[in-house]
Amino acid sequence: MPSYTPPLRDMQFVMHELFKVTDDFKAMPRHADIDRETIDAVLEEAGKFATEVVLPLNVSGDAEGCHLDPATHVVTTPKGFKEAYAKFVAGGWPALSADPAYGGQGLPLVVNQCLNEMLTATNQAWTMYPGLTHGAYAALHAYGTDAQKEAYLRKMTSGEWTGTMCLTEPHCGTDLGLMRSKAEAQADGTYRITGTKIFISAGEHDMAGNIIHLVLARLTDSPPGIKGVSLFIVPKYNVNADGSLGSRNGIHCSRLENKMGIHANATCQIELEGAVGTLVGQPNKGMNAMFVMMNGARLGVGNQSLGLTEIAYQNALAYAKDRIQMRSLSGTKAKDKPADPIIVHPDVRKMLLTARAYAEGGRALAIFCSVLLEKEHFHPDEKVRKDSGEMLSLLTPVMKAFLTDNGWIAASGCMQVFGGHGYIKETGIEQYVRDARINMIYEGTNTVQSLDLLGRKILGNNGATLKKFGRLIGALVEEEGVNEKMAEFINPIAYLGDKMTKLTTEIGFKGFQNADEVGAAAVDYLRVAGHLVFGYFWARMAQVALREIAAGNTDPFYLAKLQTARFYFAKLFPETASLMMTARAGSRVLMDTEAALA
C-alpha cells in the first residue's frame, strides 16, 4: 500500500514564512486571536487522521467500489467508509471553518484548505463525501432564508447531514441553459420537482442520516436559457418543523456510473419524481447561488490534484531510491550493489522534480487563494474585500485548470518512475493516474476554465485584474532587481509579464474581429498564465530560502526549496515560449479543417 507523510513543514513554510497569514488574520476581528501554534497543532492532528484513518481505505475502497440495490435504491459505500466518516464527525472536522452561529469552529479557511489537501492525497473518493457538503453549506449560507439556514446548516456543519450539487442532465453538461428539470409551485410554498440528473458525486450513500441536494430546475413559467434556472433544496428525507427527519422524498439513485477512477465515490444518476423542494434565493436567479458552490468546488478540485501530486511524488521518490537498475552514465554510484538506484538517472530526477515543483507551487497558490477568500468575506475594509474578490475570481480558473493539468502530468510521470510496476495495481500508483483524470473534466472542463479566464476575467475587464497581479510581480522585481542571486528567478517572470501583456492585447484585438480566435488561444493562454502565477510564487519562495541561507540557517529544507525553484525555472517555466507561439497560431488552422474532420 502507498505511504504518505503529511507535508506539514511545507504548509508551515507557505503559511508562516512566505505569506505570514496570521498578520492578515490580525486585521480581521473574526480571526484576530488565531496564532501560528493553533494552526500548526490542528493541522498536525489533521495529518494523523488522514494517514491513520483515511489512507488505509484508499486501495480497498477503489477495489470494492460502491454498490446499488436497484430495488431499494440504497447505495452502500466500501467497507470502512461509514466508520471513518463517523470518526470524522466525532472529531469535529466538518465544522472546522464553519460559522460559529451554526455550530462551526470558525477557524480560518486556510486550515480547512490544508486539511482537505491531506484528505484528498490519502483518499480522494472518500473526501468527496464531506467535501461537497462545504459547497452546499456555502451556497445556503449566502442565499438561504433564515428559516432554511436554521433547518439545514447546523446538521451540515456538524456532518450529520451531507450535501450535493445537482446540475448536469443527460443532454446537457456545461450548458445549463438547456436543462429540462421542472419545478411546479404548490399552494404551501414548496415546489414539486421532476427530472433526471447525472454524474452526481456522493449523490446517495449510507454515511450520513440525510443528504441535502441543491437542485437546478426550471419553474413552469420560466424564460428560456440560463436566465430561467432556479435553485432548490431537495432533501433525501423531508425535514419536519422540529428538525427531525420525516418521510422519504421523491428523489433516488437509479444508477451508479461505471467510472475510470474514484470508484469509491458514488457517482449517481438521480431521478426526481415530484420531489418536494424549497426555493433558494429569487426565482430564475439560481445560478447566482449555485456559482457560490461551483466556484468553491473549482478551488476544491484544484486542491484534489494538489493532494494527488504530493502523494504520487512521495511514493515515486521512495521507489526511485530503492529500485536499482543499470549504472549511472557518469560512473558507478552504489559500488556495493550490482546496479545503481534509478534516482541517479537524469530523466528520473526530472519526473520527480516536476511533481515536486508542481506540488509546492500548487500549495502556494491554494493557500494564497484561501486567504483571498477569507479577506473577501471577513476583512473590515471594503476595498480590501473588493480587491481580494477580484483577484480570487482571476485565479480560480487557474487554480482549477493549471493544478489539475499538472496533477495529471505529475501522476503520469510518477507512474513512469515505477516502470512496469507502476502499471499494475499492487504498487497503488496507477490509481492516482486514474483518479487524477476526472479532475480535469468535472466542475467545468479545463477548456471552460480557459475560456472563463481569457474571455471573462481578462478581456472582459480589459485586463484590469491581470494588471493588478502584474503589479505584485512588479513590486518583487523592483525589490530584488539588483540582487544577482535572485536574477535567475526575477528575470524570467519580468520577461514573461511583458510578453503576456502583448499577447493579451493581440488576442483581444483578433477576438473583436473573430470570437473563435479567443477560443483557439484560450487553453494555451491559461497555461502561460499558470506559469506566470507559479513563477511569481516560486520567485518569492526562492527569496525566502536565500535569506534564510544567508542568515546562516543550515536547515536542508531551504536548500531543497532553492534547488526545486531552479529546476522549475530551468525545465518547466520555458514551455511558455512554445505556448505563446501556439496561442498566436490562430483559429484558421482549427476551423478551416472540413476535409480533415469529414
Catalytic residues, which ones?
A: 443
Quote the distance between the C-alpha of residue 552 and its chain's center: 37
Tell me how long the chain is: 598
Name the amino acid, one letter, at 217: A
CA distance 174 to 243: 35
Phi, psi of 273 (to 5 degrees): -125, 80
Q: C-alpha distances in angstroms, 326 versus 320, 332, 456?
A: 13, 9, 52
CA distance 396 to 298: 7
Q: C-alpha distances in angstroms, 245 versus 161, 186, 290?
A: 11, 21, 25
Phi, psi of 219 (to 5 degrees): -70, 155
CA distance 272 to 74: 15
Q: C-alpha distances in angstroms, 479 versus 495, 535, 573?
A: 16, 16, 22
Quote the distance between the C-alpha of residue 158 and its chain's center: 23
CA distance 66 to 255: 11
Which residue from 109, 444, 441, 431 is spatially nearest to 263, judged by alpha carbons?
Answer: 431
Quote the distance between the C-alpha of residue 113 and its chain's center: 10
> Do the beta carbons of residue 294 and residue 288 sit within 8 Å?
no
- State the burial class of residue 29 (Cβ atoms within 10 Å of its Cβ: 0-12, 13-18, 19+): exposed
Most distant pair of Cα atoms in the chain: their distance: 84
Which residue from 403, 402, 405, 432 is spatially nearest to 416, judged by alpha carbons?
Answer: 432
CA distance 435 to 260: 8
CA distance 287 to 578: 37
The DSSP symbol for 277 reads E
CA distance 508 to 518: 7
DSSP string, 200-223: EET-S-SSSSEEEEEEEEEETTPP
Assign 3-state DSSP to the chain and report helix, strand, coil percentages, each to 5: 65, 10, 25
Kind plus residue range of the DSSP H or E element containing 358: helix 346-378
Q: Which residue has the cell 449555485?
A: 290
CA distance 195 to 142: 26
Q: Which cell is 69 given? A: 440495490
CA distance 162 to 546: 46
* Beta bridge partner(s), residue 24: none
Q: Which cell is 595 given? A: 476535409
Helices (H), 427-486: 429-439, 446-451, 464-480
